[in-house]
A and B are shown apart, each in its own frame.
Chain A
């Protein structure tokens, strides 16, 4: 398929148009309960963005990194301090600069990837998670010497207009996520993405083709951290509406890792599918618990069941479909397409027998 605009094919543009109509027109008209925006749609967009960051470093470049939440924390606290101390930057400017600050951390903690790989790199990148959180806790300056431990995030003001309603915040998240997703897609499909995947699939051959391992890996870590940083800032300002280091603990990093793997390594749409699944699944389980069993099952048991099912699903996906739900979806579409010809083949072969 030939791209018709930038790197997008006709099919991509149709998909994009459908998504845009859904998210800009259909959702705001039909969903009016605040709950959906504040607890599902906004965190979904934020975490999907962070998952794209994780995809770039893990799915595309093949570097087993675990510390997305650390970079998110860096982005969130950078945002808080920028709005506080450099108000002239404005919301969008601060968002970009906080992404860049997170990217600087990404470069720093991406450097071990040159020497260690696989599970050892995972341990090395884990350091970023703990270091960034420790740093924010240790130095009061980052929290503006607030003693309560939880700081309220400033209101979002873009071009003098406040964006404080859930719907307005949803649109802010949607706009940022859409732009960054399209940029990520351009990179992934262009020469940048080919370099990442070459390093992932066979680093020695990539180097023999003139792909610098140092530059490619560090670049992937930086871009990944940028995405996580921006996602973290949105997560804090639109979803949590407060800033506390505990919100960005190792559990969140694991959550993003699961979203990445379940969604499908090395796919951009997988980030959205994975994030949606992991966010919606507990909601669904709760709904089943409340409506089918009418609260007969204890809430703690439901959350344990959730963990069990996640664990099981991870194992099943690792064994049967390592490329995750995005690939599963492709396969289903493929089956639908081939279903009609294959059944006619069957018929003709049956008629030949008789």
Chain B
């Protein structure tokens, strides 16, 4: 996997320290710490309800953890909001698809270009030359992503009308359009068949390889995870029970117990 990479794995780009999150009396995450290195593919795995999605939501600022800190690009971020994280170069997809259903595929991806759009509404209303220039740049980049994901034939279809697998692809495309340095993928392959999964893996690795984008993904399919990730962190009941390369994690007794069950 790691041989001959265009972008060598570097220093930590994202550090999560001692995060604790609870909803009322329910503890979703307890004192969890891990890091993500630049240009790596990092997987978060764990049984259902282990707190994986909650973890992503903490990193992205949708949830506010009661304790702990998130550092991104070497800076500790005090008041995380999805908007601040997006501006700093962190993009994400959602577990239950959060696409703009009534908009076309291309328009969805174009929304991902928001942070590269500097013109205001008055300039847009009067279609000043710089608006046209910027719109063309954004459209060209979006078209590039569309052809990269091999979804040219559906680019004008309203997203709501597409099958699940394609919607997942569009969501990846939208995250890519932001040109973020790190993308969080929440179960990018859930509900896909083998072929679609293989495609998705290919895209994830290609993005990582060609653009050097750091990928953090949550996935259930162990085979897939072990194949494509550089390092894996395993959560169970909101705690880290294993962290390391796929091989290390595979031979970790706690992980085996969590996945296969253990007699008490």
A194: B residues at CB distance < 8 A: 103, 107, 110-111, 114
Instruction: Tell me the bound Cα distance from A7 to B125 in angstroms.
Output: 10
B194 to chain A, nearest CB (A): 28
B85, B91, B102 interface centre (most CB from chain A within 10 Å):
B102
Chain B 44-79 interface mask (CB, 8 Å, partner A; 1/0): 000000000000000010100000000000000000
Contact B81 A207 (CB under 8 A): yes
B91: A residues at CB distance < 8 A: 208-209
Contact A187 B99 (CB under 8 A): no
Q: Which residue of B lies closest to A191 (CB)?
A: B117
Contact A211 B111 (CB under 8 A): yes
Interface of chain B residues 81 through 100 with chain A (CB within 8 A): 81-83, 85-87, 91-92, 94, 98-100
Q: Which residue of B lies closest to A201 (CB)?
A: B100
Contact A198 B125 (CB under 8 A): no
Indicate whether A202 sits within 8 Å of B100 (C-beta atoms), given known contacts A208-B82, A209-B111, A211-B111: yes
B113: A residues at CB distance < 8 A: 191
Chain A 197-225 interface mask (CB, 8 Å, partner B; 1/0): 11011101111111111000001000100
Contact A197 B100 (CB under 8 A): yes
Instruction: Tell me the bound Cα distance from A184 to B121 in angstroms.
Output: 10
- Does A190 reach chain B (CB closer than 8 Å)? yes
B92, B98, B134, B135 interface centre (most CB from chain A within 10 Å):
B98
Which among B82, B110, B125 is the interface contact of A207 at CB below 8 angstroms? B82
Interface size on B (CB < 8 Å)?
A: 37
B101: A residues at CB distance < 8 A: 201-202
A46 to chain B, nearest CB (A): 20
Chain A 35-64 interface mask (CB, 8 Å, partner B; 1/0): 000000000000000000000000000000
B60: A residues at CB distance < 8 A: 208
A212: B residues at CB distance < 8 A: 83
Instruction: Tell me the bound Cα distance from A219 to B119 in angstroms.
Output: 14
B83, B111, B135, B178 interface centre (most CB from chain A within 10 Å):
B111
Instruction: Tell me the bound Cα distance from A205 to B103 in angstroms.
Output: 13
Contact A186 B125 (CB under 8 A): yes
B55 to chain A, nearest CB (A): 15
A1 to chain B, nearest CB (A): 9
- Does A346 reach chain B (CB closer than 8 Å)? no
Interface of chain B residues 223 through 252 with chain A (CB within 8 A): none
Contact A210 B87 (CB under 8 A): yes
B139 to chain A, nearest CB (A): 10
Contact A210 B114 (CB under 8 A): yes
Indicate whether A198 sits within 8 Å of B111 (C-beta atoms), given known contacts A208-B60, A210-B86: yes
Indicate whether A210 sits within 8 Å of B99 (C-beta atoms), given known contacts A186-B127, A190-B135: no
Contact A202 B98 (CB under 8 A): yes
A210: B residues at CB distance < 8 A: 83, 86-87, 114-115, 178
Contact A7 B127 (CB under 8 A): yes
Contact B121 A202 (CB under 8 A): no
Instruction: Tell me the bound Cα distance from A205 to B92 in angstroms.
Output: 9
Indicate whether A208 sits within 8 Å of B103 (C-beta atoms), given known contacts A183-B125, A190-B124, A223-B121: no
Instruction: Tell me the bound Cα distance from A223 to B124 in angstroms.
Output: 13
Which among B86, B103, B127 is the interface contact of A209 at CB below 8 angstroms? B86
Contact B107 A187 (CB under 8 A): no
- Does A266 reach chain B (CB closer than 8 Å)? yes
A354 to chain B, nearest CB (A): 36
B99: A residues at CB distance < 8 A: 201-202, 205
Instruction: Tell me the bound Cα distance from A206 to B82 in angstroms.
Output: 9
- Does A301 reach chain B (CB closer than 8 Å)? no
A186 to chain B, nearest CB (A): 5
Instruction: Tell me the bound Cα distance from A200 to B111 in angstroms.
Output: 13
Which among B87, B111, B115, B131 is the interface contact of A206 at CB below 8 angstroms? B111
Q: Which residue of A lies closest to B121 (CB)?
A: A192
B124: A residues at CB distance < 8 A: 186-187, 190-192
- Does B188 reach chain A (CB closer than 8 Å)? no
Contact B126 A204 (CB under 8 A): no
Instruction: Tell me the bound Cα distance from A197 to B101 in angstroms.
Output: 9
Contact B178 A190 (CB under 8 A): no
A48 to chain B, nearest CB (A): 18
Contact B86 A208 (CB under 8 A): yes
Contact B92 A208 (CB under 8 A): yes
Contact B114 A209 (CB under 8 A): yes
- Does B212 reach chain A (CB closer than 8 Å)? no
A213: B residues at CB distance < 8 A: 83
Known interface pairs A186-B127, A208-B82; 4 further A-B residue pairs with C-beta atoms within 8 A, sorted by A's residue number: A191-B134, A208-B60, A209-B178, A210-B115
| A-B CB contact pairs (8 Å), 19 listed | A186-B126, A187-B125, A191-B117, A191-B134, A194-B111, A195-B114, A197-B102, A198-B114, A201-B99, A205-B94, A208-B85, A209-B112, A209-B114, A209-B174, A209-B178, A210-B87, A210-B178, A211-B83, A213-B83
Give the interface of B toward A (CB within 8 A): 60, 62, 81-83, 85-87, 91-92, 94, 98-103, 107, 110-115, 117, 119, 121, 124-127, 131, 134-135, 138, 174, 178
Lowest 7 CB-CB distances: which A-B pairs, in order?
A205-B98, A201-B100, A210-B86, A190-B124, A210-B115, A208-B82, A183-B125
